[in-house]
Structure 1
């Protein structure tokens, strides 16, 4: 089985990165795909949002060589999760002085057998951990809010991907941009989206994730939106995104 590894990145916090990783993963699993979610963010919001709050071991233990990846993976609602922890901050600091520091995660994920798709929830920064994710992945998914400042951030992301492609991972490609927290009532949202379509060469998924209260509520119950409220706009939007994702 060929596994597709996707890094979900945005260097800003609060941009729907973790929400997209969880809910796209959930929607893909309900399409019959076996999905592993990797919580590479030291804030471990993904793990918390799926009620994997106090795991016996985390990704930090795997980086340290104390555990194998298969020993830390937790199953929840049809998803498999490699939980993160704030100890990843220390891991990142220690990686800076290591030789081949960019390839640690790639080596770790080589142990992940039997998965169709691996989604990596990256830290909200273009850091050594994010560099590890980009070196391990074949594809990059960029959740983007329709705000003026996100356009500047998009340039930083695409430049980083280009540098990683040149230095470490020649097969890395941008899968596409996912429009998140989209407010159809705001003129600015429409204007930024139009600008993207006119000026950005990367694929922009047609499936937009609308601003949705249910999406914000779901983590409080430790569930994806598809398990929390399958009739909500959030669930419908991520189902549509999953279908488009698999065809692209």
Structure 2
């Protein structure tokens, strides 16, 4: 059976996108799923956070045809990772003039068949690389902080998904919105969450990801929070999210 391909997107930086990709992936792996992470962000934060600092090849090499995706994969605690690099900025520029420029990633992922889930950490912008991710994906996952400005960004994300669905990928759907960096002590958090439930048709995951220092510490050790401290709130929250994620089909 083909892998379910999921783009994790938010056009704002620092919204828990990379953290969610890593730790949801790790939690799915702990549940017995075979998981591949794609670091499509030129900042390569996902790769760095898993201790991949000098890979022999990266996604940039795959885009240019200098390497096969399978040959670039790195294994970390049962997760497989396609490393990113800042050279993806140049790749994006060169893609602009290419035919089928929106489908490069889709064709690359057709090579890999042995995974249950492929999670794509997208750039924090609605760029051509992000369009490639959305064109290749079955589902979209949106990590969202409970801040006023994020609501404005959410509308733009949903509009982009709809445009891609219409123009390039009719099967694309929003899996749901994940509330991240949640602090129940802040009244604003509950107010924005209530607003989302009342005004959005998209599914909002019941499992919230609470603010947790272990989530911030784990990348320093090149690990997911589940491998760094399985007893932490962060690990428990992402394991709960993974169970809910799988139950939705």
TM-score (norm: length of structure 2): 0.99
Corresponding residue number in structure 1 for 2:76: 76
Corresponding residue number in structure 2 for 1:111: 111
Corresponding residue number in structure 2 for 1:178: 178
Corresponding residue number in structure 2 for 1:215: 215
Alignment of 1:1-248 (within 5 A): 1-248=1-248
Residue 57 of structure 1, CA deviation: 0.2
Counterpart CA distance in 2 for 1:40 and 1:2 is: 21
Counterpart CA distance in 2 for 1:73 and 1:30 is: 19
Counterpart CA distance in 2 for 1:30 and 1:211 is: 22
For the residue of structure 2 that corresponds to 1:10, the secondary structure is coil
Residue 98 of structure 1, CA deviation: 1.2
Query: Number of aligned pairs?
Result: 248
Residue 184 of structure 1, CA deviation: 0.7
Counterpart CA distance in 1 for 2:212 and 2:97 is: 43
Counterpart CA distance in 1 for 2:155 and 2:96 is: 25
Note the residue ranges of structure 1 that are not aligned, 5 or more in a row: none
Runs of 4+ in 1 over 4 A off after TM superposition: none
For the residue of structure 1 that corresponds to 2:97, the secondary structure is coil
Q: CA RMSD in A?
A: 0.4
Residue 2 of structure 1, CA deviation: 2.2
Note the residue ranges of structure 2 that are not aligned, 5 or more in a row: none
Counterpart CA distance in 1 for 2:100 and 2:2 is: 25
TM-score (norm: length of structure 1): 0.99
Counterpart CA distance in 2 for 1:76 and 1:239 is: 18
The answer (yes or no) to whether the contact 2:2–2:113 under 8 Å persists in 1 is no
Residue 195 of structure 1, CA deviation: 0.4
Residue 99 of structure 1, CA deviation: 1.4
For the residue of structure 2 that corresponds to 1:20, the secondary structure is helix
CA deviation string 1:95-150 (max 9, x = no partner): 11111110000000001120000000000000000000000000000000000000
Counterpart CA distance in 1 for 2:123 and 2:58 is: 16
Counterpart CA distance in 2 for 1:4 and 1:53 is: 27
